Amino acid sequence: MPMLTNPVQFFTTGFGDWRRVLPAGEVRDFYVRLYPNGVRWETLPTPMLEACRAWVECDFARADGDRLTPMIPILTQFDRDLLRPWLDALASYTAAMVGGELPAFRDLAEQYSNRWNSVEHILTLLLLWTINMWVLRRLLAGPMGRHPAHGDTGRYFMWGEELGAGPTAITGIRATHGTVGYGLCLIISRIVDRPRLKHARRLYAQMGGVSAVDLLAKLLAKQPSLPALAQRWGVEAATLQRWLDEQRSIRVVTPDEPPQVCIPVFGPQAMAQIAPVCGGIARQIVAWLHEDSLPELLLEQCSFAHCPRPAILCMLWHNSYYEATDRLIAQGILPAFPAVAEGEWGVWLTSDPYGQENPAAFHLR
């Protein structure tokens, strides 16, 4: 089996702090060098023993008697070439399902566009949201199962990808939950630079014990004065003003007084209209995955054949929707991504970040 010759980038979906156990630099490089066959414990360098034990505790590696075997699947270029027919088939199916519902998506985009958000922007959100989080939620409730626990670092699926030939428009969606019924979604893409929003975790962390996402949600309902808002939430006015200035700088709220939320908002009523379209496509994609199971004979030849099947499915499905995204852009269905963007692109508030619909709809029929 060919060795890794290019750098590897790691991805996760779920919640946790995996970098604490696999930090960038010498430790992560050593893990990649061990992949996929591992090494005998007795040959491990002494400075790496502590890191290796932590990998075992977090299921990043398996202690097979006298061997240490990496268990995080890595999609190598060899694997990608081997699985190309399967990846292409799912990407083509995904793009076809989206294309077939394009009139319905456009109707929704026109309905929820406004002076701050164009039809093309809303269309982008709806399409990417559908093939990402709406599908993911149903996979988690079906063939993938819930995010696995990795020791004390959190619950998440994790995989790596060897850089090189592959999809271009690699995207993810980060959801930050509030406590009053809304969550904030942010599209993360390798090809979109976000000078300030790359610090989104800090921007939407709790502020004085209050969720920053909740503050945005409150701005939707009312337009209170800053002192009144500070008093109601028990946050110092100066702290609140700094937060508001940051939200203006990333173009999530307007610069006028009182400030208005200018990113798209999909509340309960909107979600009721969106769900039949987005949820319908998501269910069809999951049904395809359920019926067209991964080809075992090919998987046995892959570098990650020994890794947990749910993690493999998560990795390969993600790569298929990256490929589908490229196809949708090439076909002119999905607008091209901007090179640089803040809150004016790929950020929205919603009462249902994961497109949960009716829980009964999660299960495959």
- pLDDT tens string 201-210: 777 777 777 7
Give a yes or no: residue 65 inside a domain: no
Closest alpha carbon to 315 in 74, 83, 22, 15: 74
Give a yes or no: residue 325 inside a domain: yes
Give a yes or no: residue 51 inside a domain: no
The predicted model gives 243-262 an average pLDDT of 88
Backbone angles phi, psi at 221, to 5 degrees: -80, -40
Q: How confident is the model at residue 3 (pLDDT cuts 50, 70, 90)?
A: confident
Give a yes or no: residue 31 inside a domain: no
pLDDT in tens, 264-323: 999 999 999 999 999 999 999 999 988 866 778 888 999 999 999 999 999 999 999 999
Closest alpha carbon to 79 in 250, 236, 239, 303: 303
Check residue 361 and give its pLDDT. Answer: 34
Query: Could you tell me if 117 and 126 are in contact, meaning their C-beta atoms sit under 8 angstroms apart?
Result: no
Cite the DSSP H helix spans in the chain: 26-34, 49-57, 77-82, 84-100, 102-112, 119-129, 135-140, 200-203, 212-221, 226-233, 237-249, 268-291, 296-299, 309-330
Give percent of the chain with pLDDT exceeding 90: 68
3-state helix, strand, coil in the chain (%, to 5): 50, 15, 35
Instruction: Judge residue 15's burial from the number of C-beta atoms within 10 Å of its C-beta, 0-12 exposed, 13-18 middle, 19 or more buried.
Output: exposed
Q: Which domain holds residue 323?
A: 78-362
CA dihedral 257, 258, 261, 266 (to 10 degrees): -150
Sign (positive/negative) of CA torsion 234, 237, 241, 242? negative
The predicted model gives 223-249 an average pLDDT of 79
Give a yes or no: residue 272 inside a domain: yes
Backbone angles phi, psi at 174, to 5 degrees: -100, 125
Give a yes or no: residue 149 inside a domain: yes
pLDDT in tens, 126-141: 999 999 999 999 999 9
How many beta carbons lie within 10 A of that of residue 59, not counting itself? 17
Check residue 365 and give its pLDDT. Answer: 24
Check residue 363 and give its pLDDT. Answer: 30
Check residue 362 and give its pLDDT. Answer: 31
pLDDT in tens, 64-93: 888 999 999 999 999 999 999 999 999 999
Give the three-class secondary structure for 67.
strand
Give a yes or no: residue 48 inside a domain: no
Structural domain count of the chain: 1
The predicted model gives 244-267 an average pLDDT of 90
Give a yes or no: residue 28 inside a domain: no
Check residue 70 and give its pLDDT. Answer: 97
Give percent of the chain with pLDDT exceeding 70: 95
Closest alpha carbon to 314 in 176, 139, 179, 167: 139
